[in-house]
Chain A
């Protein structure tokens, strides 16, 4: 099992360009999440998807769109990138089930995005 994979690992964009960050998990998890991490700000939730076909806004959704393509894949799109979106983006997934580990999220390795 690869767990949670993210592509690309690094990306540089110019202001106004668009791009899609890809995330996939092979653990048959129900929920998937996108976070951004900025120095001193911790992890902030952008969007999440509790199940295939549903998406909901998190703490900082402005400037982003998401697609839950199927149970495995959850993509994050920047339609018109801005320097304020320079950050490290993490995708995560978790299994919605009972038990002591039901809130355990598994994180991908991150995508380091710079917008100039």
Chain B
């Protein structure tokens, strides 16, 4: 089946640091999505990418759709405490299914 490899699995950073995480696949996809899940809640869409090479920003978040269409990355600049949570990449697969990666858990050290 379709599988996404998301890394790292978890990150421990200091407040104010920049964060980078990525997602790769062995297959080509035309839509890449990045979601964030706060503790105890459902995921919320952060950024959607529809075109290879596209670079899209949402505040301090920037995501890129890889040229090969097999990867994507998400950067967070100048992290703040409310950035804590789980970040998921997702792709739109066959038959319009939306499949998620296993997530990157972000921790911010006081």
Contact = CB atoms under 8 A, between A and B. Distances in A.
B102 interface: yes
Nearest to B93: A45
Interface residues of A, number: 27
Contacts, number: 59
B93 to A, nearest CB: 9
Given A59-B1, A90-B43, 20 more contacts: A4-B42, A33-B98, A42-B88, A43-B43, A45-B97, A45-B98, A45-B99, A48-B97, A56-B95, A96-B96, A101-B45, A103-B45, A105-B43, A105-B45, A107-B41, A107-B42, A107-B43, A109-B41, A109-B42, A110-B40
Contact of A59 (B33, B92, B99, B101): B99
17 contacts: A42-B101, A44-B100, A45-B98, A45-B99, A45-B100, A50-B96, A56-B95, A56-B97, A59-B1, A101-B45, A103-B31, A103-B33, A103-B92, A104-B48, A105-B45, A105-B98, A107-B41
Given A56-B95, A109-B42, A43 B48 contact: no
Nearest to B10: A40
Nearest to A44: B100
Contact of A107 (B44, B50, B99): B44
Contacts of A44: 100
A74 interface: no
B44 A42 contact: no
Nearest to B102: A42
B1 to A, nearest CB: 6
Contacts of B100: 35, 42-45
